[in-house]
Structure 1
Amino acid sequence: MDYKDYLTIISPPERVNDKIRLFKRACGNSIGKFPGMYAKAHISFDIIRDSIDKHSKTPLTLKPFYELVDFKIRTIPAHELKINGFDFFCHGPNFRTIYAALEMNEDTENWFRTVKQALRINRKLKPHITITRKISTEFFNVLWPYFQNTEYQDSFEAESLLILEKESGNPFNHYKEYKKLPFAKK
Protein backbone atom coordinates (compact mmCIF):
# COMPACT_ATOMS: atom_id res chain seq x y z
CA MET A 1 0.00 0.00 0.00
CA ASP A 2 1.15 3.55 -0.72
CA TYR A 3 1.03 5.62 2.44
CA LYS A 4 0.18 9.30 2.43
CA ASP A 5 1.28 12.21 4.57
CA TYR A 6 -1.30 14.90 5.30
CA LEU A 7 -0.40 18.47 6.20
CA THR A 8 -3.08 20.74 7.68
CA ILE A 9 -2.60 24.47 7.06
CA ILE A 10 -4.26 27.85 6.88
CA SER A 11 -3.33 29.48 3.60
CA PRO A 12 -3.40 33.29 3.70
CA PRO A 13 -4.57 35.35 0.72
CA GLU A 14 -2.26 35.94 -2.24
CA ARG A 15 -1.32 39.48 -1.14
CA VAL A 16 0.13 38.08 2.11
CA ASN A 17 1.86 35.28 0.20
CA ASP A 18 3.37 37.89 -2.15
CA LYS A 19 4.74 39.91 0.79
CA ILE A 20 6.22 36.80 2.47
CA ARG A 21 7.74 35.80 -0.89
CA LEU A 22 9.49 39.20 -1.04
CA PHE A 23 10.92 38.71 2.46
CA LYS A 24 12.14 35.23 1.49
CA ARG A 25 13.69 36.53 -1.72
CA ALA A 26 15.52 39.29 0.18
CA CYS A 27 16.87 36.64 2.58
CA GLY A 28 17.99 34.49 -0.34
CA ASN A 29 19.81 37.48 -1.83
CA SER A 30 21.74 37.85 1.44
CA ILE A 31 22.46 34.24 2.43
CA GLY A 32 21.74 32.11 -0.65
CA LYS A 33 19.21 29.27 -0.85
CA PHE A 34 17.66 27.93 2.35
CA PRO A 35 15.01 25.28 3.24
CA GLY A 36 11.49 26.44 2.42
CA MET A 37 12.68 29.38 0.34
CA TYR A 38 10.05 28.71 -2.33
CA ALA A 39 7.25 27.47 -0.06
CA LYS A 40 3.98 29.41 -0.10
CA ALA A 41 3.08 31.34 3.02
CA HIS A 42 1.03 29.23 5.43
CA ILE A 43 0.28 28.48 9.07
CA SER A 44 0.81 24.78 9.73
CA PHE A 45 -0.95 22.66 12.29
CA ASP A 46 0.26 19.10 11.92
CA ILE A 47 1.58 16.41 9.61
CA ILE A 48 0.02 12.99 10.06
CA ARG A 49 0.49 9.76 8.13
CA ASP A 50 -1.69 6.83 7.18
CA SER A 51 -0.64 3.74 9.12
CA ILE A 52 -1.28 0.01 9.52
CA ASP A 53 -3.17 -1.55 12.40
CA LYS A 54 -0.60 -3.72 14.24
CA HIS A 55 -3.09 -6.48 15.03
CA SER A 56 -5.18 -6.83 11.89
CA LYS A 57 -2.48 -5.58 9.48
CA THR A 58 -5.15 -3.51 7.69
CA PRO A 59 -4.44 0.01 6.46
CA LEU A 60 -5.76 2.83 8.61
CA THR A 61 -6.41 5.67 6.19
CA LEU A 62 -7.15 9.16 7.38
CA LYS A 63 -10.00 9.90 4.99
CA PRO A 64 -12.73 9.02 7.58
CA PHE A 65 -10.91 11.19 10.14
CA TYR A 66 -11.07 14.18 7.80
CA GLU A 67 -14.78 13.60 7.18
CA LEU A 68 -15.35 13.95 10.93
CA VAL A 69 -13.03 16.97 11.16
CA ASP A 70 -14.85 18.59 8.23
CA PHE A 71 -18.11 18.45 10.21
CA LYS A 72 -16.48 20.04 13.28
CA ILE A 73 -14.58 22.74 11.37
CA ARG A 74 -17.80 23.91 9.68
CA THR A 75 -19.13 24.86 13.15
CA ILE A 76 -16.12 27.09 14.03
CA PRO A 77 -16.55 30.69 12.85
CA ALA A 78 -13.98 32.19 10.47
CA HIS A 79 -11.54 34.42 12.35
CA GLU A 80 -9.45 37.47 11.52
CA LEU A 81 -5.73 36.81 12.01
CA LYS A 82 -3.36 39.73 12.48
CA ILE A 83 0.32 39.69 11.56
CA ASN A 84 2.42 41.96 13.76
CA GLY A 85 6.17 42.00 13.15
CA PHE A 86 8.69 39.18 13.28
CA ASP A 87 10.11 36.75 15.81
CA PHE A 88 12.26 33.63 15.79
CA PHE A 89 12.55 30.11 17.18
CA CYS A 90 15.79 28.63 18.48
CA HIS A 91 16.63 25.08 17.44
CA GLY A 92 19.45 24.46 19.89
CA PRO A 93 22.53 26.66 19.80
CA ASN A 94 23.19 26.35 16.05
CA PHE A 95 19.91 27.00 14.19
CA ARG A 96 17.10 29.57 14.05
CA THR A 97 13.77 30.01 12.25
CA ILE A 98 12.59 33.54 11.45
CA TYR A 99 8.84 34.03 11.09
CA ALA A 100 6.09 36.61 10.71
CA ALA A 101 4.40 36.71 14.11
CA LEU A 102 0.66 36.47 14.64
CA GLU A 103 -0.92 38.71 17.23
CA MET A 104 -2.21 36.32 19.88
CA ASN A 105 -4.89 38.06 21.92
CA GLU A 106 -7.33 36.04 24.05
CA ASP A 107 -9.91 35.63 21.24
CA THR A 108 -7.29 34.39 18.78
CA GLU A 109 -5.75 32.01 21.34
CA ASN A 110 -9.20 30.57 22.07
CA TRP A 111 -9.94 30.24 18.35
CA PHE A 112 -6.70 28.31 17.72
CA ARG A 113 -7.43 26.13 20.78
CA THR A 114 -10.85 25.25 19.31
CA VAL A 115 -9.31 24.40 15.92
CA LYS A 116 -6.65 22.24 17.62
CA GLN A 117 -9.37 20.37 19.53
CA ALA A 118 -11.28 19.72 16.29
CA LEU A 119 -8.05 18.35 14.75
CA ARG A 120 -7.27 16.36 17.92
CA ILE A 121 -3.90 18.04 18.31
CA ASN A 122 -2.58 17.82 21.86
CA ARG A 123 0.88 19.31 21.45
CA LYS A 124 1.71 22.96 22.03
CA LEU A 125 1.36 25.12 18.93
CA LYS A 126 2.86 28.55 18.17
CA PRO A 127 0.98 29.75 15.06
CA HIS A 128 3.30 31.66 12.70
CA ILE A 129 4.25 32.18 9.04
CA THR A 130 7.78 30.96 8.38
CA ILE A 131 10.23 33.18 6.52
CA THR A 132 13.47 31.17 6.95
CA ARG A 133 13.38 27.67 8.40
CA LYS A 134 16.20 26.27 10.53
CA ILE A 135 19.03 28.40 9.18
CA SER A 136 22.46 28.49 10.85
CA THR A 137 23.00 31.07 13.59
CA GLU A 138 25.65 32.60 11.33
CA PHE A 139 23.01 33.31 8.65
CA PHE A 140 20.49 34.32 11.32
CA ASN A 141 22.92 36.94 12.65
CA VAL A 142 23.16 38.40 9.13
CA LEU A 143 19.36 38.54 8.66
CA TRP A 144 17.89 39.29 12.08
CA PRO A 145 18.97 42.98 12.33
CA TYR A 146 16.93 43.64 9.16
CA PHE A 147 13.83 41.94 10.59
CA GLN A 148 14.28 43.63 13.97
CA ASN A 149 14.07 47.01 12.27
CA THR A 150 11.29 46.19 9.80
CA GLU A 151 7.63 46.74 10.57
CA TYR A 152 5.13 44.39 9.01
CA GLN A 153 1.47 44.52 9.91
CA ASP A 154 -1.34 42.90 8.00
CA SER A 155 -4.52 40.95 8.64
CA PHE A 156 -6.66 38.42 6.86
CA GLU A 157 -9.71 36.28 7.44
CA ALA A 158 -8.96 32.61 8.08
CA GLU A 159 -11.81 31.20 6.01
CA SER A 160 -10.79 27.56 5.79
CA LEU A 161 -8.31 24.84 6.61
CA LEU A 162 -6.51 23.27 3.70
CA ILE A 163 -5.54 19.61 3.88
CA LEU A 164 -2.60 18.76 1.65
CA GLU A 165 -1.45 15.23 0.81
CA LYS A 166 1.60 13.56 -0.70
CA GLU A 167 2.95 10.03 -1.06
CA SER A 168 5.09 9.16 1.97
CA GLY A 169 8.72 8.25 1.76
CA ASN A 170 9.76 10.08 -1.41
CA PRO A 171 11.50 13.40 -0.65
CA PHE A 172 10.78 14.61 -4.21
CA ASN A 173 7.01 14.36 -3.84
CA HIS A 174 5.21 17.65 -3.29
CA TYR A 175 2.03 18.29 -1.36
CA LYS A 176 -1.16 18.68 -3.38
CA GLU A 177 -4.56 19.85 -2.22
CA TYR A 178 -6.64 16.99 -0.84
CA LYS A 179 -9.53 18.82 0.80
CA LYS A 180 -10.62 22.31 1.82
CA LEU A 181 -12.53 22.57 5.10
CA PRO A 182 -14.41 25.90 5.35
CA PHE A 183 -15.03 27.59 8.67
CA ALA A 184 -18.53 28.87 9.42
CA LYS A 185 -19.36 32.26 7.94
CA LYS A 186 -19.74 35.01 10.51
Structure 2
Amino acid sequence: MTGYADYLFLLSPPQPVIDEVARYKKASAKHIGDFSSMNSNAHISVMTAERQKPYFAENTLSRLEQRLAIMPPILLHIDGFKYFEHLHDKKTIYAAIRNTPAVDDWFELMRKNLGIKKVFLPHVTVCRNISNEQFNTLWPHFRHKRWTEPFWANELTIARRETFEPFAKWQTLKRISFKGNKGLAETTNKTDSNEQINLF
Protein backbone atom coordinates (compact mmCIF):
# COMPACT_ATOMS: atom_id res chain seq x y z
CA MET A 1 0.00 0.00 0.00
CA THR A 2 1.46 3.35 -1.10
CA GLY A 3 -0.38 5.28 1.60
CA TYR A 4 -3.26 6.48 -0.57
CA ALA A 5 -6.21 4.65 -2.10
CA ASP A 6 -9.09 5.40 -4.47
CA TYR A 7 -12.61 4.24 -3.62
CA LEU A 8 -15.46 3.45 -5.99
CA PHE A 9 -19.07 3.20 -4.78
CA LEU A 10 -21.32 1.33 -7.18
CA LEU A 11 -24.54 -0.58 -7.69
CA SER A 12 -24.28 -3.87 -9.55
CA PRO A 13 -27.19 -5.09 -11.69
CA PRO A 14 -27.96 -8.84 -11.79
CA GLN A 15 -26.07 -11.17 -14.10
CA PRO A 16 -28.58 -11.08 -17.00
CA VAL A 17 -28.15 -7.28 -17.24
CA ILE A 18 -24.36 -7.59 -16.97
CA ASP A 19 -24.41 -10.18 -19.76
CA GLU A 20 -26.64 -8.04 -21.99
CA VAL A 21 -24.42 -4.96 -21.58
CA ALA A 22 -21.38 -7.15 -22.37
CA ARG A 23 -23.14 -8.25 -25.55
CA TYR A 24 -23.66 -4.62 -26.60
CA LYS A 25 -20.02 -3.83 -25.83
CA LYS A 26 -18.83 -6.77 -27.92
CA ALA A 27 -21.08 -5.79 -30.84
CA SER A 28 -19.81 -2.19 -30.60
CA ALA A 29 -16.18 -3.31 -30.71
CA LYS A 30 -16.86 -5.07 -34.00
CA HIS A 31 -17.77 -1.69 -35.49
CA ILE A 32 -15.22 0.67 -33.85
CA GLY A 33 -12.49 -1.52 -32.38
CA ASP A 34 -11.32 -1.36 -28.76
CA PHE A 35 -12.62 1.38 -26.47
CA SER A 36 -11.92 2.32 -22.85
CA SER A 37 -14.93 0.72 -21.13
CA MET A 38 -14.97 -2.40 -23.30
CA ASN A 39 -13.93 -4.87 -20.60
CA SER A 40 -15.55 -3.35 -17.52
CA ASN A 41 -18.55 -5.07 -15.93
CA ALA A 42 -21.86 -3.23 -16.11
CA HIS A 43 -22.53 -1.11 -13.02
CA ILE A 44 -24.02 2.17 -11.85
CA SER A 45 -21.31 4.44 -10.46
CA VAL A 46 -22.51 6.35 -7.41
CA MET A 47 -19.28 8.07 -6.34
CA THR A 48 -15.52 7.96 -6.72
CA ALA A 49 -13.31 9.20 -3.90
CA GLU A 50 -9.70 9.53 -5.05
CA ARG A 51 -6.45 9.78 -3.14
CA GLN A 52 -7.78 9.00 0.33
CA LYS A 53 -5.85 7.88 3.41
CA PRO A 54 -7.23 4.35 3.94
CA TYR A 55 -7.29 4.57 7.73
CA PHE A 56 -9.47 7.68 7.73
CA ALA A 57 -11.58 6.66 4.72
CA GLU A 58 -12.39 3.23 6.09
CA ASN A 59 -13.11 4.65 9.54
CA THR A 60 -15.63 6.93 7.85
CA LEU A 61 -17.12 3.98 5.94
CA SER A 62 -17.73 2.14 9.19
CA ARG A 63 -19.65 5.13 10.52
CA LEU A 64 -21.64 5.42 7.28
CA GLU A 65 -22.52 1.75 7.06
CA GLN A 66 -25.44 1.92 9.47
CA ARG A 67 -27.03 4.80 7.55
CA LEU A 68 -26.65 3.00 4.25
CA ALA A 69 -27.91 -0.35 5.58
CA ILE A 70 -31.30 1.11 6.62
CA MET A 71 -31.96 2.33 3.09
CA PRO A 72 -34.54 0.18 1.29
CA PRO A 73 -33.71 -1.74 -1.89
CA ILE A 74 -34.86 0.11 -5.01
CA LEU A 75 -36.49 -1.25 -8.18
CA LEU A 76 -34.74 0.27 -11.20
CA HIS A 77 -35.67 -0.02 -14.87
CA ILE A 78 -33.28 0.14 -17.79
CA ASP A 79 -35.13 2.03 -20.50
CA GLY A 80 -33.32 2.32 -23.83
CA PHE A 81 -30.08 4.15 -24.63
CA LYS A 82 -28.90 7.75 -24.43
CA TYR A 83 -25.57 9.53 -24.57
CA PHE A 84 -23.50 12.18 -22.82
CA GLU A 85 -21.42 14.80 -24.61
CA HIS A 86 -17.94 15.53 -23.22
CA LEU A 87 -15.21 18.04 -23.94
CA HIS A 88 -12.92 17.52 -26.94
CA ASP A 89 -15.69 16.01 -29.09
CA LYS A 90 -16.04 12.85 -27.02
CA LYS A 91 -19.26 11.03 -26.18
CA THR A 92 -20.46 8.20 -23.93
CA ILE A 93 -23.31 5.86 -24.86
CA TYR A 94 -25.18 4.45 -21.87
CA ALA A 95 -28.21 2.40 -20.91
CA ALA A 96 -30.64 4.84 -19.30
CA ILE A 97 -32.29 4.32 -15.92
CA ARG A 98 -35.97 5.31 -16.01
CA ASN A 99 -36.52 8.49 -14.06
CA THR A 100 -39.38 8.38 -11.51
CA PRO A 101 -40.09 10.32 -8.29
CA ALA A 102 -39.28 7.19 -6.22
CA VAL A 103 -35.94 6.74 -8.00
CA ASP A 104 -35.12 10.45 -7.61
CA ASP A 105 -35.91 10.30 -3.87
CA TRP A 106 -33.83 7.17 -3.38
CA PHE A 107 -30.74 8.57 -5.09
CA GLU A 108 -31.19 11.86 -3.24
CA LEU A 109 -31.10 9.88 0.01
CA MET A 110 -27.97 8.08 -1.20
CA ARG A 111 -26.33 11.43 -2.02
CA LYS A 112 -27.22 12.74 1.41
CA ASN A 113 -25.91 9.66 3.23
CA LEU A 114 -22.60 9.77 1.36
CA GLY A 115 -22.24 13.55 1.53
CA ILE A 116 -22.24 13.88 -2.27
CA LYS A 117 -22.77 17.49 -3.31
CA LYS A 118 -22.85 16.94 -7.06
CA VAL A 119 -26.09 15.75 -8.64
CA PHE A 120 -25.51 12.73 -10.86
CA LEU A 121 -27.59 10.85 -13.41
CA PRO A 122 -27.79 7.11 -12.70
CA HIS A 123 -26.82 5.14 -15.80
CA VAL A 124 -25.01 2.03 -17.02
CA THR A 125 -22.11 2.92 -19.31
CA VAL A 126 -21.76 0.93 -22.54
CA CYS A 127 -19.17 2.87 -24.61
CA ARG A 128 -17.27 5.50 -22.67
CA ASN A 129 -15.41 8.50 -24.06
CA ILE A 130 -15.53 7.55 -27.73
CA SER A 131 -14.72 9.91 -30.59
CA ASN A 132 -17.36 11.64 -32.69
CA GLU A 133 -16.49 9.39 -35.60
CA GLN A 134 -16.95 6.26 -33.47
CA PHE A 135 -20.18 7.66 -32.04
CA ASN A 136 -21.57 8.40 -35.50
CA THR A 137 -20.83 4.81 -36.48
CA LEU A 138 -22.49 3.32 -33.39
CA TRP A 139 -25.41 5.56 -32.54
CA PRO A 140 -27.65 4.45 -35.46
CA HIS A 141 -27.47 0.92 -33.97
CA PHE A 142 -28.46 2.13 -30.47
CA ARG A 143 -30.82 4.96 -31.28
CA HIS A 144 -34.03 2.97 -31.67
CA LYS A 145 -33.21 -0.06 -29.52
CA ARG A 146 -36.02 -0.63 -27.05
CA TRP A 147 -34.31 -2.48 -24.23
CA THR A 148 -36.38 -2.38 -21.04
CA GLU A 149 -35.30 -4.41 -18.03
CA PRO A 150 -36.34 -4.10 -14.38
CA PHE A 151 -33.92 -5.09 -11.62
CA TRP A 152 -33.52 -4.58 -7.90
CA ALA A 153 -30.54 -2.71 -6.46
CA ASN A 154 -30.09 -4.61 -3.20
CA GLU A 155 -26.62 -3.54 -2.09
CA LEU A 156 -23.88 -0.96 -2.43
CA THR A 157 -20.45 -2.28 -3.40
CA ILE A 158 -17.35 -0.38 -2.31
CA ALA A 159 -14.16 -1.15 -4.24
CA ARG A 160 -10.62 0.07 -3.54
CA ARG A 161 -7.36 0.35 -5.46
CA GLU A 162 -3.98 1.90 -4.72
CA THR A 163 -3.74 5.45 -6.02
CA PHE A 164 -0.14 5.52 -7.20
CA GLU A 165 0.20 1.91 -8.37
CA PRO A 166 0.09 2.09 -12.22
CA PHE A 167 -1.43 -1.37 -12.69
CA ALA A 168 -3.64 -1.43 -9.61
CA LYS A 169 -7.01 -3.11 -10.11
CA TRP A 170 -10.23 -2.43 -8.28
CA GLN A 171 -10.86 -4.95 -5.52
CA THR A 172 -14.08 -5.29 -3.56
CA LEU A 173 -13.63 -3.90 -0.07
CA LYS A 174 -17.17 -4.15 1.27
CA ARG A 175 -20.76 -4.85 0.29
CA ILE A 176 -23.52 -3.14 2.24
CA SER A 177 -26.98 -4.69 1.88
CA PHE A 178 -30.00 -2.38 1.85
CA LYS A 179 -32.26 -3.72 4.62
CA GLY A 180 -34.79 -0.95 5.05
CA ASN A 181 -38.44 -1.77 4.37
CA LYS A 182 -40.42 1.00 6.04
CA GLY A 183 -40.45 3.55 3.23
CA LEU A 184 -38.21 6.41 2.23
CA ALA A 185 -39.86 9.04 4.42
CA GLU A 186 -39.03 7.24 7.66
CA THR A 187 -35.56 6.33 6.43
CA THR A 188 -34.90 9.94 5.44
CA ASN A 189 -35.90 11.18 8.87
CA LYS A 190 -33.53 8.76 10.55
CA THR A 191 -30.61 10.17 8.58
CA ASP A 192 -31.38 13.77 9.50
CA SER A 193 -28.94 13.80 12.40
CA ASN A 194 -26.71 16.78 13.12
CA GLU A 195 -23.64 14.70 12.41
CA GLN A 196 -22.28 15.43 8.95
CA ILE A 197 -19.85 12.93 7.44
CA ASN A 198 -18.30 14.66 4.43
CA LEU A 199 -14.74 13.38 4.49
CA PHE A 200 -14.91 12.24 0.88
State the TM bucket, normalised to the shorter chain. Answer: over 0.9
Alpha-carbon distance in structure 2 between the residues aligned to 1:31 and 1:103? 28
Corresponding residue of 1:25: 26
Give SS of 1:62's match: helix
Alpha-carbon distance in structure 2 between the residues aligned to 1:165 and 1:51? 10
1:47-126 equivalence runs, <5 A: 47-51=48-52, 61-92=56-87, 94-126=89-121
Q: Give 1:173's aligned amino acid.
A: A
Per the TM alignment, residue 49 of structure 1 is displaced from its structure 2 partner at its CA by 3.1
1:19-61 deviation digits (Å, cap 9, x = unpaired): 0000000000110000010000000011113546xxxxxx762
Unaligned runs of 5+ in 2: 182-200
Give the share of equivalent positions with the same residue, in percent. Answer: 32
Corresponding residue of 1:55: none
Alpha-carbon distance in structure 2 between the residues aligned to 1:152 and 1:87? 12
Alpha-carbon distance in structure 2 between the residues aligned to 1:143 and 1:128? 18
Corresponding residue of 2:197: none
4+ runs of 1 displaced by more than 6 Å? none
Corresponding residue of 1:36: 37
Compare 19-28 and 168-177 and name the one that shifted more. Answer: 168-177
User: TM-score, normalized by length of structure 2?
Assistant: 0.86
Q: Give 2:35's aligned amino acid.
A: F
Per the TM alignment, residue 169 of structure 1 is displaced from its structure 2 partner at its CA by 1.8
Q: Which of 145, 155, 162 is the equivalent residue of 1:160?
A: 155
Give the conservation status (yes or no) of the 8 Å contact 2:45–2:122.
yes
Corresponding residue of 1:150: 145
The 1:50–1:68 alpha-carbon spacing in structure 2 relative to 1, beyond 3 Å, is farther
Give the conservation status (yes or no) of the 8 Å contact 1:50–1:60.
no
Corresponding residue of 2:131: 136
Q: Give 1:156's aligned amino acid.
A: F
Identify, as 1 or 2, the structure richer in helix: 2
Give the conservation status (yes or no) of the 8 Å contact 1:95–1:137.
yes
Alpha-carbon distance in structure 2 between the residues aligned to 1:103 and 1:175? 28
Q: Give 2:156's aligned amino acid.
A: L
Give the conservation status (yes or no) of the 8 Å contact 1:73–1:183.
yes
Give SS of 2:111's match: helix
Alpha-carbon distance in structure 1 between the residues aligned to 2:169 and 2:52? 20
Alpha-carbon distance in structure 1 between the residues aligned to 2:4 and 2:167? 15
Q: Give the number of equivalent residue pairs.
A: 180
Corresponding residue of 2:195: none
Per the TM alignment, residue 150 of structure 1 is displaced from its structure 2 partner at its CA by 1.1
Q: Give 1:108's aligned amino acid.
A: V
Unaligned runs of 5+ in 1: 53-58
Q: CA RMSD in A?
A: 1.4
